[in-house]
Amino acid sequence: METSTVAQTAPKIEKAVTNLTPITVAHGDGIGPEIMSATLRLLKAAGARIDIEEIEIGEKVYLSGNTSGIGQDTWDSLRKTRVFLKAPITTPQGGGYKSLNVTTRKVLGLYANVRPCVSYSPYINTKHPIMDVVIVRENEEDLYAGIEHQQTDEVIQCLKLISKPGTEKIIRYAFEYARAYGRKKVTCFTKDNIMKMTDGLFHKTFDRIGEEYPEIQKEHWIVDIGAAKLAETPEVFDVIVMPNLYGDILSDVAAQITGSVGLAGSANIGEGFAMFEAIHGSAPMIAGTNKANPSGLILAAVQMLVHIKQADIAEKIHNAWLKTIEDGIHTEDVFSNKVSKEKVGTQEFADAVIARLGEKPAQLTKVDYSNGNNQFEIKISETKPAEKELVGVDIFLHHGDRNPDALATQMTDLQVGGLKLKMITNRGTKVWPNGFPETFCTDHWRCRFMVEEGETTTFDSVILLQQQIHGRNLNVIKTENLYLLDGKASFSAGQGQ
């Protein structure tokens, strides 16, 4: 009886005493510990209501034999706190080590990577004085699925996976973010002139979902020219949503052209978890020198405070940070004789921000997070299963002889379940029938077998066909079934087909 009374009252007492939001903190590698210590001192001085659980991830964990760089204690802590403030870590080269950043983002479903890139002219030197771009990078899919295979002596493959729900989530997130922060335009970058199916899905989803946000201007650029425009005239962009790889590359470009990659923070947002980090890496060349700019991690911590509903503290820190920048107190990466007043180290920069807590910038735009939010209710539509008809198979071969005609003659007589050899490509380019003798061929061939139009085949026939090819001493390395989905081809044609 007594025991149960204690059990009932204990949580109340604990809540009254702490009233703090638990967060998990990793100090990271390279410059990580220095910038994290500067950031935590600032959070403490500003009165952030947080309860820190410290965990070890990164180089030490990797080198202890854990190829993911993250131990069980980290997952336990994250399950408890659901909020992660993370310093950059070093991924050791080679040795099968997986990027722990990518693992964390994917395992915890942190699908939206939000990276504001702002210039602070005239206080920080930049070729682009007017720039306030938020890059919303898809965080879970694309080539970052990390599914790679060396299939032949000469060819290695990396799978690019783009899903309907994944795409819908990130695009809705970008529009919701734009709406919440009064942003005027959302731009989408893809390469759908080449990757018509994967990037095509991203572009089409952008157009479809965009219609639900009539007050927001929408535009799409092919990523190459879009990137060139971003580097030349960033002032014409507002929010940009992109698949994972383009977002990774272009957010570094965007941050760098504001003055330094050391200036930008990022939020990785999922349904139940969130991770906050600087966008830069562990900068091992300047580790231990007190030269690193802690701003990226400080601004990531500001995003974290907004996330845990401590907008008052977020605002206090961000405004003091802006005032410090405006006062010309700069770390080496952004220091310039023309505009800076004092060159300071990592810790001295944090001290300068602490000294300005409560102050606001006079010229730079002060921040207001009273309606701040970075977690939106994102609904995704049901995927309706399509009617699937098997009409062919791409059989990939490892074959050292570079002559496509000779390879074709070994298979043209095959006919199983209506499947006949229709085309051979090498690295995607059609080389049989009627290939160009000039096309260079590797040892990696795709042989497309199809039924006649209007017919279908069976999976048993696909297996039998493989057995027959194998029986001719040809080396089958993989297959892709070719389907009609609701009557439409769900596979791309060969280049030059």
Got the DSSP string for 220-275?
Answer: EEEHHHHHHHHHH-GGG-SEEEE-HHHHHHHHHHHHHHHT-GGG-EEEEE-SS-EE
Closer to ligand NAD at the Cβ: 328 or 418?
328
Q: What is the CA radius of gyration of the chain?
A: 27
Closer to ligand NAD at the Cβ: 139 or 152?
139
Amino acid at 274: A
Q: How far is the CB of 32 from ligand NAD (least distance, A)?
A: 8
List C-alpha distances in Å: 479 to 182, 208, 316: 48, 33, 58
Q: How far is the CB of 255 from ligand NAD (least distance, A)?
A: 10
Do the beta carbons of residue 353 and residue 448 sit within 8 Å?
no
Query: At 368, phi and psi to the nearest 5?
Result: -140, 110
Residue nearest to ligand NAD (CB): 281
Q: How far is the CB of 260 from ligand NAD (least distance, A)?
A: 6
- List CB contacts of 36: < 8 A, sequence separation 6 or more: 25, 26, 27, 28, 85, 87, 297
- List CB contacts of 294: < 8 A, sequence separation 6 or more: 34, 35, 38, 39, 331, 346, 349, 350
Closer to ligand NAD at the Cβ: 28 or 392?
28
Q: How far is the CB of 93 from ligand NAD (least distance, A)?
A: 8
Closer to ligand NAD at the Cβ: 90 or 190?
90
Taking the C-alpha atoms of residue 240 and residue 171, their distance in angstroms, rounded to an integer, is 10
Closer to ligand NAD at the Cβ: 33 or 418?
33
Enumerate the β-bridge partners of residue 51. 22
Q: How far is the CB of 321 from ligand NAD (least distance, A)?
A: 14
List C-alpha distances in Å: 242 to 29, 130, 160, 392: 28, 22, 14, 33
Q: How far is the CB of 474 from ligand NAD (least distance, A)?
A: 40
Closer to ligand NAD at the Cβ: 21 or 90?
90
Residue with token string 């701003």:
295
Instruction: Report the 10 Å Cβ neighbour count for 496.
Output: 14
Q: How far is the CB of 76 from ligand NAD (least distance, A)?
A: 21
Q: How far is the CB of 197 from ligand NAD (least distance, A)?
A: 30
Q: How far is the CB of 25 from ligand NAD (least distance, A)?
A: 14
The DSSP 8-state label assigned to residue 472 in this structure reads T
Amino acid at 27: H
Taking the C-alpha atoms of residue 189 and residue 179, their distance in angstroms, rounded to an integer, is 19
Q: How far is the CB of 346 from ligand NAD (least distance, A)?
A: 8
Closer to ligand NAD at the Cβ: 227 or 286?
286
Closer to ligand NAD at the Cβ: 116 or 262?
262
Taking the C-alpha atoms of residue 255 and residue 265, their distance in angstroms, rounded to an integer, is 9
Closer to ligand NAD at the Cβ: 143 or 476?
143
Closer to ligand NAD at the Cβ: 16 or 285?
285
For the chain, the helix, strand and coil percentages under 3-state DSSP, each to the nearest 5 = 35, 25, 40
Closer to ligand NAD at the Cβ: 203 or 280?
280
Q: How far is the CB of 101 from ligand NAD (least distance, A)?
A: 5
Closer to ligand NAD at the Cβ: 152 or 331?
331
- List CB contacts of 272: < 8 A, sequence separation 6 or more: 82, 108, 109
Residue with token string 């694309």:
142
Q: How far is the CB of 284 from ligand NAD (least distance, A)?
A: 6
Q: How far is the CB of 286 from ligand NAD (least distance, A)?
A: 5
Taking the C-alpha atoms of residue 306 and residue 151, their distance in angstroms, rounded to an integer, is 47
Nearest to 109 by CA among 132, 131, 141, 81: 141
Do the beta carbons of residue 359 and residue 51 sit within 8 Å?
no
Closer to ligand NAD at the Cβ: 281 or 417?
281
List C-alpha distances in Å: 299 to 19, 29, 42, 43, 264: 24, 19, 11, 11, 7
Residues that bind ligand NAD (CB under 6 A): 31, 88-91, 101, 261-262, 277, 280-286, 292-293, 296, 333
